[in-house]
Amino acid sequence: MPLSTWLKAGTTAAALVLATATAVSAAPAPAPESSVSGAAAVVTLRYDDSRAGGWEAAIAAGVASWNANVDNVKLVEAAPGVRAEIVIVATTGWPQATLGPVRPGRQVRVELGSQAVSQGYDKTRIAAHELGHSLGLPDTKPGPCTQLMSGSSAGTSCVNAVPNATEQARVESAYANGAALKVPTDGRMLVDMP
């Protein structure tokens, strides 16, 4: 067989191999399987309690209460130097907080006032209540102890720090599918005094 025939056959074979390889590599890759298929989006909000000396245990308990009772928003402690959405400080006045729902990247303030503690109110209930404001819940005064957002109107004997089903549903609704990303915060400071 002459050399030119071998070259033609070799060139044709190389072109065929190249065309086949290109077609195979151009085929779409299979879609990756999702380990959270069907799961709702969870909004993570960071809190900074570095200026809330004396309230650490109450804040941890309030955060744990919210995290245990709502599914689509989670509160986590901000690492040092990381900007938090919820800034928590200890003050000498009455507890107060910015009404949310706070959005990731935005910021609200919670003031945990010692005046309420000196009046006999429970620190954990105060912390959980004020965090509820950050998550978009207004006061429901007057109200029973079973309503976390009834705040001081439930009296000093009330130590309930767990949001009821209605309060849980309102927070779930505010953060449904990451919706808090679109809902502006009210921006008002709500002062929780009797």
Give the CA diameter of the chain. Answer: 106
Per-residue pLDDT reduced to its tens digit, 159-193: 999 999 999 999 999 999 876 545 455 566 556 65
Q: Half-sphere exposure of 146 toward its Cβ, with a 13 Å CA cutoff? A: 3
pLDDT at 40 over 70: no
The catalytic residue positions are 130
**pLDDT tens readout for residues 95-143:** 999 999 999 999 999 999 999 999 999 999 999 999 999 999 999 999 9
Sequential DSSP letters for 29-90:
PPPPPPTTTTPPP-EEEEEEEEE-TT-HHHHHHHHHHHHHH-SSEEEEEPPTTSPPSEEEEE
Least Cα distance to 59 among 112, 4, 2 occurs for: 112
What is the pTM for the complete model shown?
0.75
H or E element: which one contains 110? Answer: strand 108-113
Q: What is the pLDDT of residue 2?
A: 53
115 and 93 in contact (C-beta within 8 Å)? yes
